[in-house]
Structure 1
Amino acid sequence: MKAYDYIDSILKAPLEKIEGIKIGTSVEGQTIEGFRFGKGNKNISLIAGNHADEPIGPLLLKKLVSYFSSLSENHPLFEKFSWWIVPHTNPDGEKQNLKWYHYTDSKTDLDQYLLHVQRELPGRDLEFGYPIEGKIPALRPENTAVYNFWKTANAPFSLHASLHGMKSSYGAWFLIDEDWIDRTRKLRQDCKQKTIELGYDLYDLDRNGEKGFSRIDEGFCTRPDGGKMREHFLNLGDTKTAAQFHASSMESIRSLGGDCLTLVSEMPLFIFPKKERKLVWPDTYLDQWRDQFTQWKTDLISGTVSANALKIDMESKGVYAMPWEDQMKLQWQLIASGLETI
């Protein structure tokens, strides 16, 4: 079987409490758990929750840990690979955001999301809080916990995926390590094919290298970079914000040695209509939708619009919630294609 073929079993895995390894403690004193599986010679790192308002990655990894816990030690995925999994790097942020979702949900409720979502700003952002030993310190104890967990591996990592999401877009977006662009043609083909097969478009934009985002192909960009983030804000004269960016998880794990393929998934909670347009940055079409979601939030908070009226307006504009199962399928496709690539 190919790695993707396990997706149905993963999705059916029960959401039950599996005891992991205590790898650290959050700012608020909650336990951060990691999980180890397999005995293969390729080390795999999977993490989610660096942005705590993005629940689909943690859901997939919770199900993956549940599924892996049911397998024999001689399973093919354990013979070829050794897995380091942190389903949620930020239990404090998870607790705050559980006001608008449950892991048993099938899609996101827009009014609950807009009323209760909380996202940490630079200076608290876990994705850009990782250390590079001797050069960049960790931002938070959660970052140190994950980093020290990686250091327990007996060899460099071959693959690292940090699972993320977006509030809204018109399709799926995949971010790839710049050093692996020429070696990921089949990965891009497989992810594109699965996206189309599930009935979705690929999100396409060209930020011309801003913050590390360089367009590779439709639906594919290079992954963000802490150094490029700092450079961006320094060019704006904003030294305070620039100083808030440490290393990303992708840069941090590569600093441990080897030639690790690093990947980021970006699946939208809400999909708005696609519009053919010239790829320019800033993109006015995307700005219009950002402003629309901001206006919806303002109207909800002020009581100008009810939850039911919001739903009607959302549907009239062609906006819908992307099913969580489809988001997980595309996240697993990216991981599975990464496994084939290495």
Structure 2
Amino acid sequence: MICHYVVQSGDTVFRIARHQGTNVIALYSLNPQLMEQGYVYPGQVLQIPPPAVSLYVIQAGDTTLFELACRLAISLESLVAANPQVDPDKLPIGQTIVLPHNKKTSIIQTNSEYGYKELIEDLELLSKRYPFLQMGSIGSSVLGRSIPVIRLGNGPKQLHYNGAFHANEWITTLLLMKFIEEYAEVYRSGNLFRGRDIQKIFEQSSLWIVPMVNPDGVELVHVGAMPDNPYYEFLLKWNFGCLDFSGWKSNIRGVDLNDQFPAGWERERDRREVTGPGPRDYTSTAPLSEPEAKAMADFTNEHDFRLVIAFHTQGQEIYWNYGDMEPPEAEQLAKRLAKVSRYRAVKLQGSDAGYKDWFIQQFRRPGFTVETGFGVNPLPLSQFRSMYDEVIGIMLEGLVI
């Protein structure tokens, strides 16, 4: 039986489908107006098709719906919604419950858009399935969203990867999250990870991953500017009156976070010639003015990173230098990364104020910007599988450099 759903703040078509146990195609077929809108809006009433379901009998050891959702990698919201008569904290052995159709073995799903809400939900599920993962926060965004960090391994050699400095490059978050899940599963099972001994790597190195540096910007790309956003009027002005924010690169204050670091910042400001907030390329009035950039700098200063890699899109290139301050081995290391990914190692000129630039200047150690994929940002999810197959080599090679 078709039911109705009232859109809530922060919803997207993908999120509604995920939590209602259906798919985007079915939603669009019942709600053709969505094809033209771009975004859904709070208060909208949508028709929801009946979910496909299966049944599950509670076994010894099944304690709560939350635990079951984590173990079976099912959205807790959809599990609770499918079982309104069930006490979520008391599951008698032998009781039959309904499993929504989105039961899956993998937590990280790569066939739908990925925002901050998905990131937080998936990190909670990953922490339950893989308790050896260490999770924390490096700070908060302008709007107070925590910026998560995940540590893989407990060895003395410290490394760092990050993604989604730019809001419309959110697919880099998905690349890193899929890597985290696969790494964790291989470590738990004791298998090799594409020929690599992860058990050994886990003991030798500590990889710190910040999968989404710019959570406010990513949410703006997915949800759009809504009246409850404190920057609503400014955002419409900065986006030239356009309601489509899918191409937005900046943070919520219209600052490009990868032009925020004290490494030739003045040169980059003058080169950009962008005098105020907007979708891209505004450096702000001073380096590290934005809490996200400041959090990244503080986090980096607190660790002894042997190497850092910032994942961006697009171009299938690896940038490895900055102002001749990179260490002598940087070019050869870049060529190693290029070999395992089929990307080009490029000596970049005429670019300053990026995270990689600052790291090289500050620590004189290898720092890389990897431009994943090819095309026009935001890259489509149809590219994800080929992108992942390319960058997985870089992610693994970085662990053994």
TM-score (norm 2): 0.47
Give the corresponding residue for 2:164: 49
Q: Deviations over 1:262-310 (max 9, x none)?
A: 1111123538xxxxxxxxxxxxxxxxxxxxx9xxxxxxxxxxxxxxxxx
Q: Give the partner amino acid of 1:160.
A: V
Give the corresponding residue for 1:248: 354
Give the corresponding residue for 2:395: 335
Secondary structure of 2:338's partner? Answer: helix
CA distance in 1 between partners of 2:300 and 2:369 (Å)? 18
Give the corresponding residue for 1:158: 306
Contact map agreement 2:161 2:210 (CA 8 A) in 1: yes
Give the corresponding residue for 1:307: none
Pairs aligned (count): 221
Q: Deviations over 1:176-201 (max 9, x none)?
A: 23535755447526634643xxxxxx
Give the corresponding residue for 1:142: 292
Match of 1:222 among 330, 347, 360: 347
CA distance in 2 between partners of 1:26 and 1:37 (Å)? 23
Contact map agreement 1:97 1:117 (CA 8 A) in 2: yes
Distance of aligned partners of 1:254 and 1:115 in 2 relative to their CA distance in 1, 3 Å threshold: closer
Contact map agreement 1:131 1:147 (CA 8 A) in 2: no
The Cα of 1:146 is off from its aligned counterpart by: 1.8
Q: Give the partner amino acid of 2:259.
A: F
The Cα of 1:130 is off from its aligned counterpart by: 2.9
Is 2:238 the partner of 1:119?
no
- Which runs of 5 or more residues in structure 2 are unaligned? 1-104, 109-121, 128-134, 191-197, 225-243, 267-285
The Cα of 1:165 is off from its aligned counterpart by: 0.2
Distance of aligned partners of 1:187 and 1:337 in 2 relative to their CA distance in 1, 3 Å threshold: farther
Contact map agreement 1:40 1:78 (CA 8 A) in 2: yes
CA distance in 1 between partners of 2:313 and 2:151 (Å)? 25
Is 2:148 the partner of 1:33?
yes
Is 2:319 the partner of 1:175?
yes
Q: Deviations over 1:231-272 (max 9, x none)?
A: xxxxxxxxxxxxxxxx32113334553x4211111123538x
Aligned-pair RMSD on alpha carbons? 3.7
Secondary structure of 1:83's partner? Answer: strand
Aligned counterparts, 1:1-342, within 5 A: 14-15=107-108, 16-18=122-124, 20-70=135-185, 71=187, 75-99=199-223, 116-120=246-250, 124-131=255-262, 137-153=287-303, 156-166=304-314, 172-177=316-321, 179=326, 183-185=330-332, 187-188=334-335, 191-192=338-339, 194-195=341-342, 219-223=344-348, 228-229=350-351, 247-257=353-363, 259-270=364-375, 323-340=383-400, 342=401
Q: Deviations over 1:106-131 (max 9, x none)?
A: xxxxxxxx873322299711112135
The Cα of 1:38 is off from its aligned counterpart by: 1.9
CA distance in 1 between partners of 2:245 and 2:301 (Å)? 39
CA distance in 2 between partners of 1:334 and 1:263 (Å)? 11
Contact map agreement 2:168 2:246 (CA 8 A) in 1: no
TM-score (norm 1): 0.54
Secondary structure of 2:292's partner? Answer: helix
Secondary structure of 2:359's partner? Answer: helix
The Cα of 1:174 is off from its aligned counterpart by: 1.9
Secondary structure of 1:251's partner? Answer: helix
CA distance in 1 between partners of 2:340 and 2:361 (Å)? 32
Q: Give the partner amino acid of 1:177.
A: N
Q: Deviations over 1:21-43 (max 9, x none)?
A: 12211111211111223222321
CA distance in 1 between partners of 2:373 and 2:306 (Å)? 27
Secondary structure of 1:253's partner? Answer: helix
Secondary structure of 2:107's partner? Answer: coil
CA distance in 2 between partners of 1:265 and 1:148 (Å)? 22
The Cα of 1:229 is off from its aligned counterpart by: 4.1
The Cα of 1:50 is off from its aligned counterpart by: 0.6
Q: Deviations over 1:143-194 (max 9, x none)?
A: 12122222332xx31110000002xx6xx22222353575544752663464
CA distance in 2 between partners of 1:186 and 1:142 (Å)? 28
Distance of aligned partners of 1:127 and 1:182 in 2 relative to their CA distance in 1, 3 Å threshold: same
Q: Which has the higher contact order (CA 8 A, sep 6+)?
A: 1
Give percent identity, aligned residues only. Answer: 21
CA distance in 1 between partners of 2:152 and 2:259 (Å)? 27
